[in-house]
Amino acid sequence: MKVTFKLESFEGPLDLLLHLIDQAEVDIYDIPIRMITDQYMEYLSMMQELELEVTSEFLVMAATLLSIKSKMLLPKPPVIEMDWEGYEEEEDPRAELIQKLIEYRKYKGIADHLKEKEIERSLIYTREPEDLTAYIPDVQVNPVEGLHVADLVWAFKKALRKMADRTRVSKIRRDEISVKDRISEIYEQLSGRKGKVLFSKLLAPGFSREELVVTFLALLELMKMKAIVCYQHRLFDDIVIQARENGVRNDAITTDEIDY
């Protein structure tokens, strides 16, 4: 029977052998070595006639097939009855080649699967990331963001330490200042300094403890009403007090809101 080959590009001799086995539709565990060897040699002859480059791997496989074919043609030794204990069955000359073909088919299947995944991935197109800043919701700025209560406590303790280092005579005075009056004074200082003043500027050298406490309470009330913003440029730096543009005006503060 004449076999017609269609010349294709094979990656190696094992690839060619698998092609011949699949084309002949034979069991890979029971290869008709004579037929496959003849087809393999005919393929190499066609490659030489077409002046195609035949690598050494194909020639080595041809020699291997011819060696296996010759072993298969040798007559088998006569069967000798013997004790089965310790008997070793004669090894099939095709066993090593069959094992190589099975391993090659397994890895070839894996390579084909990865190739299909590569083709599927190549059909997916991505776009460059866009600026989504415009879609970020407008969150109201916290007026005391970055400023902790501990910062005010630390500043208060610092002011008390400065006063403790001074030696002065205390005088009993009955005049008191309310939180509302102190808020008005802070507003006056902010107005005279373009809406911004340092915390240390609010504390005069002769301030009593009561005036310090009232000043802190006034600042806390202004922050509560979102009339001012307090922040620091650096850690342990002087606190900056800044009036908010849309904050509560001085004339809008009533005694009902602040009665102490």
Question: What pLDDT sits at residue 114?
Answer: 93
How far is it, in rounded angstroms, from Cα 96 to Cα 92? 8
What are the angstrom distances between the C-alpha of 11 and each of 23, 52, 70, 225?
17, 14, 27, 81
Q: What is the mean pLDDT of residues 191-204?
A: 82
Q: Which amino acid type is present at position 31?
A: I
Domains of the chain: 13-75+92-122 (no CATH), 149-252 (1.10.10.580)
How far is it, in rounded angstroms, from Cα 222 to Cα 243? 9
Question: What pLDDT sits at residue 116?
Answer: 92
Local confidence band at 6 (pLDDT 50, 70, 90 cut-offs) = very low
pLDDT for 88 beyond 60:
no
**Block residue for tokens 């415009």:** 134
Mean pLDDT across the chain: 77
User: Is pLDDT larger for residue 72 or for residue 101?
Assistant: 101
User: Is pLDDT larger for residue 85 or for residue 96?
Assistant: 96
Q: Where are the beta strands (DSSP E) in the chain?
A: 196-198, 228-231, 240-243
Q: Phi, psi (5° rounding) for residue 25?
A: 55, 55
**Neighbouring-strand partners of residue 242:** 196, 229
Question: What pLDDT sits at residue 128?
Answer: 84
**Neighbouring-strand partners of residue 230:** 241
Looking at residue 74, what DSSP letter applies?
S
Q: What is the mean pLDDT of residues 58-64?
A: 80
How far is it, in rounded angstroms, from Cα 23 to Cα 19? 6
Looking at residue 151, what DSSP letter applies?
H
pTM: 0.38
Local confidence band at 4 (pLDDT 50, 70, 90 cut-offs) = very low
Local confidence band at 3 (pLDDT 50, 70, 90 cut-offs) = very low
pLDDT for 29 beyond 60:
yes
* Residues with Cβ within 8 Å of residue 94, at least 6 apart in sequence: 31, 33, 68, 72
